[in-house]
């Protein structure tokens, strides 16, 4: 596959989480829609209210839409805005983790469970105790499952320190270490956190944490974790500078060392992704706003092959937007 391919031309889907279950690729995107809410820095215009699940047997082949897997109206604690979800498998069950604002307009992370990768997913009655912010991504190995989460601005991460809500949002100054994504091991029943969420440190090559003012490299949102040749790759969006970047480490908690840009800006404001190996090749799933003519809240899913250099760095992919 040399060229990026749009996967779902008939609908607006974004924020892909992608996994191989039973030998097939399963895609768990956000489902964008035209809600009429004006665009703002809080992300109110991303007013999604359900999830569809898609699958593929072949990266060039047909994409099957399995229909609605979860609706906001099915979730007892729901306020609004179903953002980026992820799904993982353990002991015969598929667990979907999703961010949603509760009735007080606070993002929490919810769980919904299915016996099949395509759903339908049945939501738990309450969000994960102690959860906050957005963009959960789950990485499992050796029977342990780690959740990565967090996002600044509309994702509300600036409202917390040490897992406690602040009286008001607060950003570090430009020279101070940036707000970190969070990593936490999930409990054995997959329904809660087994420990306090920790800061996932991203260091520059000189060993110092990236600073809040380093907007071209610091974390904004859209965590993803994958492993390649024994190295852990944490990748994320820089938000207002519109890059997907990555950092590497030798264990799931880090620290991670910044390595570079995975995807240059796309057409649109947000950039978000999943990285997955399928049939011996690596792929970057992501989104852009070309089909909607640049409407930032109507995004379209794409996939492109991703390549590593011999030293384990990733070849930067051109997102096609303004740099
Ligand atoms: O889709 C809403 C938000 O936009 C996601 O949670 C972010 O990662 C960004 O893609």
Distance between Cα 270 and ligand 1 center (Å)? 7
For residues 26 and 7, give the distance between their C-alpha atoms in angstroms, rounded to a whole number. 12
Q: What percent of the chain has pLDDT over 90?
A: 98
For residue 52, the model assigns a pLDDT of 98
Q: What are 273's two structure tokens?
A: 């992704």
- In angstroms, what is the span from residue 83 Cα to ligand 1's centroid? 6
Query: Which three-class secondary structure state does DSSP give residue 74?
Result: helix
Tally Cβ neighbours within 10 Å of residue 143: 8
Which residue's CA is the nearest one to ligand 1's atom 2? Answer: 83
Ligand 1 pocket check for 258: Cβ under 6 Å:
no
* Percentage, residues of the chain above pLDDT 70: 100
* Whether residue 199 lies in the annotated active site: no
3 state SS of 280? coil
Q: Is the CB of 288 under 6 A from ligand 1?
A: no
What is residue 3's predicted lDDT score, i.e. its pLDDT? 87
Supply the pLDDT for residue 323. Answer: 81
301 close to ligand 1 (CB < 6 Angstrom): no
Task: Provide long-range contacts, Cβ within 8 A and 24+ apart, for 245-252.
Answer: 245/217, 246/314, 247/202, 247/203, 248/312, 252/139, 252/141, 252/144, 252/146, 252/183, 252/225
Q: What is the pLDDT of residue 10?
A: 96
Q: How far apart are the first and last CA of the chain?
A: 24
Going by alpha carbons, the residue nearest to atom 9 of ligand 1 is 270
Pairing relationship of beta strands 300-306 and 281-288 according to DSSP bridges: antiparallel
23-43 average pLDDT score? 97
pLDDT at 273: 98
Residue in 32, 118, 135, 221 annotated catalytic:
221
pLDDT tens string 228-241? 999 999 999 999 99
Mean pLDDT of the chain: 98
Domains of the chain, CATH where assigned = 5-306 (2.115.10.20)
83 lines ligand 1 (CB under 6 A): yes
Q: What is the pLDDT of residue 142?
A: 96
With the most atoms of ligand 1 within 8 angstroms of its CB, the residue from 151, 219, 267 to mutate is: 151
Q: Is 11 a catalytic residue?
A: no
pLDDT of residue 18: 98
pLDDT at 137: 99
Q: Is pLDDT of 268 > 80?
A: yes
pLDDT at 2: 72
- Determine the distance separating the centroid of ligand 1 and the alpha carbon of 74, expressed in angstroms: 21
């Amino acid at each position: 596959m040399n060229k990026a391919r749009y996967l779902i031309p008939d609908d607006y889907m974004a924020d892909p989480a992608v996994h191989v279950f039973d030998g097939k690729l399963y895609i768990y995107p956000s489902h964008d829609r035209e809600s009429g809410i004006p665009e703002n820095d809080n992300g109110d215009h991303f007013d999604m209210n359900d999830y569809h699940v898609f699958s593929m047997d072949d990266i060039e082949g047909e994409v099957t839409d399995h229909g609605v897997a979860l609706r906001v109206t099915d979730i007892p604690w729901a306020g609004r805005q179903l953002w980026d979800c992820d799904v993982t498998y353990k002991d015969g069950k598929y667990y979907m983790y999703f961010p949603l604002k509760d009735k007080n307009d606070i993002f929490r992370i919810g769980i919904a469970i299915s016996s099949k990768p395509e759903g339908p997913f049945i939501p738990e009655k309450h969000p994960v105790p102690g959860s906050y912010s957005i963009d959960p991504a789950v990485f499992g190995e050796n029977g342990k499952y780690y959740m990565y989460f967090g996002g600044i601005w509309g994702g509300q991460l600036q409202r917390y320190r040490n897992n406690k809500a602040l009286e008001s949002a607060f950003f570090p100054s430009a020279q101070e270490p940036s707000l970190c994504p969070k990593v936490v091991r999930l409990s054995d029943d997959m329904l809660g956190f087994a420990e306090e969420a920790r800061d996932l440190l991203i260091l520059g090559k000189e060993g110092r944490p990236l600073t809040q003012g380093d907007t071209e490299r610091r974390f904004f949102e859209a965590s993803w974790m994958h492993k390649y040749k024994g190295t852990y790759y944490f990748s994320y969006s820089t938000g207002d500078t519109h890059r997907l970047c990555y950092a590497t480490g030798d264990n799931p908690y880090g620290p991670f060392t910044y390595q570079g840009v995975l995807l240059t800006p796309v057409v649109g404001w947000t950039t978000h992704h999943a990285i997955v190996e399928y049939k011996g090749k690596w792929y970057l799933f992501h989104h852009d706003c070309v089909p909607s003519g640049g409407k930032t809240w109507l995004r379209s899913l794409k996939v492109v092959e991703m390549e590593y250099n011999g030293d384990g760095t990733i070849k930067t992919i051109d997102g096609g937007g303004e740099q």
